Structure 1
Amino acid sequence: MKYIKSTLAIIIFSLLCLTDVYSQEISFNHLVTENGLSNNSVISLYQDAKGYIWIGTRNGVNLYNGNEFITYKSHKSDPNSLIFNNIQKITGNGKDEVYFMTPKGVSALNTTNNQFTTLIQGYIRAMHYHKDLYVTKDSHIYRHNGKQFEPYYTLNNCSNIGALYVCDDYMLIGTEEHGLFRLDKQKKLTQLLPKVNVINIFQDSVGRFWIGTWENGLYVMDGNSMKNYLHTESDPKSISSNFVRSFCEDKQGNMWVGTFNGLNRFNTHSGTFSCYQKSEREHSLTHSSIWSLLCDEQGTVWIGTYFGGVNYFTPQYQVYHHIQVSKVEAEGSVSRL
């Protein structure tokens, strides 16, 4: 029995190692301006209630139905168009509205009548939807009451709020200079991380929070514990950059982390990272700087790059079963959005 257990342990360990080896051979599919994308700098991604993929760029937003793009842009002569073309974040109410955050304000699109309205003007730095729409401007948080935005909370003597995540009982607030805070329903404020520039906050399926920072790497908050992952030049299994921008969780429960220098897959068994970057290989990433990530309902992972458009693949077929999916098969899975 002892021999069998030892043999099984060796097999499991070998399979985990093989997974990391084969994961380097992911075949990424690409969507760029030649395919109809309005711009190759993809800053934000979102899947709406109908299953369509919204792709926010520096020059308009694109609705992708699996076969073609519909592009929406700001038009000065049309008050019912986007407020601005630089789309920094996209979210929605899970029904008939999609929200677009830009440096000049937030636009809402009613998907029933296909008409835009401007909800708020000014430099909006963060946005999150949980039962209501929340946005931040400078050090102020606003909540939409169904008709307009109203003040919700202000961080006194604090820097700009650059990240926001709202839960039932509290919200996490990430700032540019003063770290991470938790604000409960009684408006009690607790500082969780000091003096880091928080870029993004993501909650996974088991309740952990993944916190991306500018220059300070990745923080993972699990209950009351906080662990920091930093890039180490001498360690190829460390995170590939300390500039951490985006996250998504695939259908197998593995985390993907977008950084300034590469896409990372976090191995929950070993606590290490596998990195994917642009190379000369035909189906590699089109650009190594990752801005946005999304795992859609079908399990496809979408990757928004700084200058290489959108890359996408399905981890279930490539990372875990080591099968190279053809472009025709991959596009077929997207068309069933």
Structure 2
Amino acid sequence: MKKILEKKSHQISFPFFILLILFTFIISCNGQSKIKSNKNNKIQSKTTNDKPPSSLFFVEQNSIPNDTFAPLYYKSQLCHWVRNIIQDKKETLWFGTNHYGVMRYNGKYLEYFTPEKGFGGTRTTAILTDYEGNVWFGNSGGITKYNNRSFTNYSEKDGLISNEVWTITIDSNGIIWVGTSDGVSCFDGKKFTPFPIPKAVVNNTESVISDNRISIILADSKGSIWFGTDGYGICKYNGKTFTHYTTDNGLPDNNISDLMEDSKGNIWIGTMYGGVSRYNGKLFSNFTKNGIVNGIEVGGLYEDKKGNIWFAAENNGVYRYNGKSFTNFHKKEGLTTNGILSIFEDNQGRFWFGGWKGLFRFDGKSFTYVTNDGPWEK
């Protein structure tokens, strides 16, 4: 390290050096990470023992712009990204993460499942429970089934169209629909079948992020399947024909981030650049365009047991809609992240919010940050 300072003393400040030494000492005490450098004294990589808490970021020389740092984990912190939340029939809570597979809380303790423990991928993008009580996960390695005893992984070698899975849903017939970076596969429990989605004709192809990625799939109560795309709007399949919804039909944006059906049969749409909209079967109501809510990137759509609609808006916290008005929750209520990705109410009435900075609990008035130590049961 002394040699590095002599060569690059004009680039590394003394306070930063002390900070780096301190962080390295902490990590060394935990025995969870090591830093390697190459012959040019350039930090090359780090290795860990696959335990997300107590991790240390790593940097290369000259790679820290304007004295900014990557996220630092402390000992009791959960993983930094919580993408999705669900509760299974045994009332076990599952939390999908962005780097450490999936977390499970069974009422007594928290456990991580990673590829080293048989889980299919490091990034968990979707979770659902089927009619038999199995839990299914969409992840960066395909899809994974958990039967309360063990994991079974399915990937391209089993017929899945792509291992990059972004969304999964189950219809009334028990068919699992899988949205990937390369389109859709259907799984009947035995085999995967490709399901081609016709593209809509859009006027502005510059907004197309991906030609084939399916960002979200919704199976509605009437038997139709809705597919959200990355630039071609929404495609609905009613079992016989396809119907396209784009900005030409009143959709606020053709880049779809989330879809949800509420208890009244309305379809709620979260978009990347057009905010949130509601479709009643005839017309789209764009609440963002009308200035009722803020934030153009919307996700985490959820309906609670009282019929309230929740969603997250980038840089604007979360909103709750009671059918008449919207209530905004942000930093003053304790929500210390600009990016909520998932919202869930469990069977005990506890509200969980997962996002860029981990996991939060909501008691009806304020948010509490959740660590490995909780709060879990309160």
- Please state which band the TM-score falls in when normalised by the shorter chain: 0.7 to 0.9
1:70 and 2:123 are equivalent in the alignment: no
Equivalence for 2:301: 247
Whole-Å Cα distance in 1 between the matches of residues 335 and 313 of structure 2? Answer: 13
Matching residue's letter, 1:127? I
Partner Cα separation in structure 1 for residue 199 and residue 320 of structure 2 = 37
State how far apart, in whole Å, the 2-side matches of 1:68 and 1:275 are.
Answer: 32
TM-score (normalised: structure 2):
0.66
Deviation at 1:260?
Answer: 1.6
Deviations 1:168-225 (A, max 9, x none): 5311111111111211111x11112235100111111111111110011111011222
Deviations 1:263-307 (A, max 9, x none): 11124224xx2221224xxx6123231111112223222100211
Number of the residue aligned with 2:359? 310
Deviation per residue, 1:300-335 (Å, 9 max, x gap): 22100211x2112244xx59xxxx99x9xxx89x64
- Spell out the pairing of 1:12-161 with structure 2 (5 A cutoff): 38-58=78-98, 59-75=100-116, 81-111=118-148, 113-119=149-155, 120=160, 122-130=163-171, 131-138=174-181, 140-156=183-199, 159-161=212-214
Find the aligned partners of 2:269 and 2:182 in 1 and give their Cα distance.
Answer: 19
| Kept after mapping to 1: 8 A contact 2:104/2:110 | yes
Offset at residue 100 of structure 1 (A): 1.4
Deviations 1:130-155 (A, max 9, x none): 22211023453211111121123332
Q: How many residues align?
A: 278
Match of 1:29 in 2: none
For residue 242 of structure 1, give the secondary structure of its aligned residue in structure 2.
coil
Structure with higher strand content: 1
1:276 is matched with 329
Candidates 268, 287, 302, aligned match of 2:337: 287
1:175 is the counterpart of 2:233: no
Q: How does 1:2-13 map to 2 (within 5 A)?
A: none
How far apart are the structure 1 equivalents of 2:243 and 2:213? 17
Question: Among residues 226, 250, 266, which one is paired with 2:321 in the alignment?
Answer: 266
TM-score scaled by length of structure 1: 0.74
Superposition RMSD in Å: 2.8
8 Å Cα contact 1:88-1:100 kept in structure 2: yes
* Greater relative CO, 1 or 2 (CA 8 Å, sep 6+): 1
Q: Distance in 2 between matches of 1:139 and 1:116?
A: 22
Superimposed CA distance per residue, residues 9-46 of structure 1 (whole angstroms, 9 cap, x where no aligned partner): xxxxxxxxxxxxxxxxxxxxxxx976866412111111
Could you say which residue in structure 2 is the equivalent of 1:204?
262
Flag the 1:115–1:122 CA change in 2: closer, same or farther, 3 A. Answer: closer
Q: Which residue of 2 aligns with 1:162?
A: 215
Give SS of 1:246's match: strand
Q: How far apart, CA to CA, are the structure 2 residues paired with 1:252 and 1:266? A: 11
Asked whether the equivalents of residues 119 and 151 of structure 2 are also in contact (C-alpha less than 8 Å), the reply is: no
Opposite residue 117 of structure 1, the aligned amino acid is N
Contact kept in structure 2, 1:42 and 1:306, CA below 8 Å: yes
Q: Distance in 1 between matches of 2:345 and 2:303?
A: 6
Query: Equivalent residues in 2 for 1:220-235 (5 A)?
Result: 220-230=278-288
For the 8 Å contact 2:199–2:232, the answer to whether it is kept is: no
Of 269, 277, 299, 2:349 maps to: 299
Pick closer, same or farther for the CA change 1:142–1:69 going to 2, 3 Å: same
Residues 126, 162 of structure 1: 8 Å contact kept: yes
Q: Which runs of 5+ in 1 are unaligned?
A: 1-31
Structure 1 residue ranges, 4+ long, deviating more than 6 angstroms after superposition? 32-35
User: Amino acid of the residue matched to residue 257 of structure 1?
Assistant: F
Cα distance in 1 for partners of 2:90, 2:147 equals: 13
Q: Which residue of 1 aligns with 2:35?
A: none
SS of aligned partner of 1:154: coil
Paired position in structure 2 for 1:19: none
- What amino acid is the match of 1:250? D
Larger radius of gyration: 2
Aligned twin of 2:203: none
Q: Which amino acid aligns with 1:313?
A: F
CA contact 2:78–2:359 (8 Å) conserved in 1:
no
5+ residue gaps in structure 2? 1-52, 54-72, 201-210, 248-252
